[in-house]
Structure 1
Amino acid sequence: MEVNYKNIKVIGFDADDTLWVNETYFREAEEEFCRLLSEYETPNKIDQELFKMEMANLELYGYGVKAFVLSMVQSALELSNYNVSIKTIDKILNIGKDMLNKPVELLDGVEDVLKALSSKYRLILATKGDLLDQERKLEKSGLTNYFHHIEVLSDKKEANYSRLLGHLDIEPSEFLMIGNSLKSDVLPLVNLQAHAIHVPFHTTWAHEQVSETETNGKLYKTINSLKELIKIMD
C-alpha cells in the first residue's frame, strides 16, 4: 500500500546515524575495550558480557557514551575478577572521552534535505541519549537553525512519542518521523497511527534490532538515502 503524506505538518528527525555518524564510534570503542581485556577473555566473550551489562544498566543509566563507559568499567572489573589495573580503568575512561570529543560527521545530503524541507514543514529533532552530549553534537553539526524544536528523550517508546505529539499540539496523522532504527524511530510511530520513514545505517546496535515478525503488516517506507526525502515530500 502506498503511503500518503499530504497531511504532514511536522517532520521529526532522529540524530545519531540518521543525521550524523555515531554507532561506528561505539563499535571502534568496543574493539579497543576487547584489546584492553584480552588477557582475561576472548573478544567474543568480552563483547557478549559488555552487551549484557549495558542491558542490565539501561534502566538506571539510560543511553549515551557516559552510560556506555560505566558499563565498560563494571564489565572490566567482573571479567578480570576485580584484578584489572587502575591504568586499564584509566584507559577505559579515555575511550569515553575520545568518543565525546569526536568530530560530528554529517551523513550524505543531510543539510540539503533539511534546507529543502524547512521551507515547507516544521522540523524537529527527536533523539535519545545524554542531554549534554546530544546538545554538544548538535552545536558542532551546525544544523540547529533548521529545527523548530529539539527534544532529547529518555527513551523512544509510544508513551514518549505521545507526550511529544501532545506538546507539539498535532495529531499523529500530521507527524512524520525519520530515523535509522525500526525499533525506536519507526514502529512506535506506526503503532500510534503516525507516519515513519526508515533510513537504514550500515551498523545497528544489537539492542535496536527487531525481528521480521515485529515488522510484518506495519505500514512504513524504507529509503536508501536521506536525499530521497526531497522527492517524496515535494
Structure 2
Amino acid sequence: MYAVFKRELMGLLNSLMAYITIGVFLLATGLLLWFFPDTSILEYGYAELTGFFSLAPFLFMFLIPAITMRSFAEERREGTYVLLAIRPVTDWQIILAKYFACLVLVVFALIPTLIYYYTIYQLGLPQGNIDGGAVTGSYIGLLLLGSAFVAVGIFTSSLSKNQVVAFALSVFICFIAYSGFDAVSQLFVLSYFETVFLSLSVNEHYQSISRGVLDTRDLIYFITFVALFLIATKAVTGGRKW
C-alpha cells in the first residue's frame, strides 16, 4: 500500500493542477481576509479567524474536487488502472492509498494558512488576544471536512473516465452535503424532521467542532461519512475491475 500511496502522492506533487488549485485557494483566502473591505479582518476590527473558517468550506468544494478528480478517472482513461489492479494489492489498499495521498495534499494547502493565526496573534490588543482553543477546533473541523470531501471526490472519480464529469459531480455532492440539508431543514422548522436533516448536515457538525468542543457524535459522523463513500468507491471499482 505504501508504494501505491507514494506513487499517488508523487503524481499529485508533480501535477501542475495541484499547485494551481492550492495557489488559487491561498490567493482567494488571502484576498478575502485582508484586502476586500466586506470580509477584511482589518476592517472587522476583532482578533479572530471566523471569516476564514466560514469561507474555507466553500473554497474546499472546488479545491478538493480539483485534486481528486484524476484519482481514478485519469487512470481509467489512459488504461493504466488495469496495470495497477493486477499487482499484488487489494482494492482497499488502492482506494486508501489514493485517499490518503489526496488528504495529505489538502493538509499541505492548510499549513500555509497558519500564518493567518500568527498574524492575528501579533496584531491582537493586547498581543495574543485570540481564542486559541476555537482556532484549534476550527482547524480540526476543516481537516475532518476535508477528509469528507476527499472521500466524495474519490468516489465520483471512480464513476467516470472524464475528469470534468468527476469534478462537477464532486462539487454537487459536496454542496448538497454541506448546505443542502440545512436548506431542507428550514422547511420543517420546529419539527422532528428539522432535527433529522440537521443531523445529516456536514455544516452542522463542522460548526459544532469549530466552537472548540470535540463531541464524539461529530467525530462519529465524519468517520461514518468517509467510510460510506469509500465503501461506495469499493463497490464501483470492484464491480468494474475485470
TM class by shorter chain equals under 0.3
More strand by percentage: 1
More helix by percentage: 2
TM-score by length of 1: 0.24
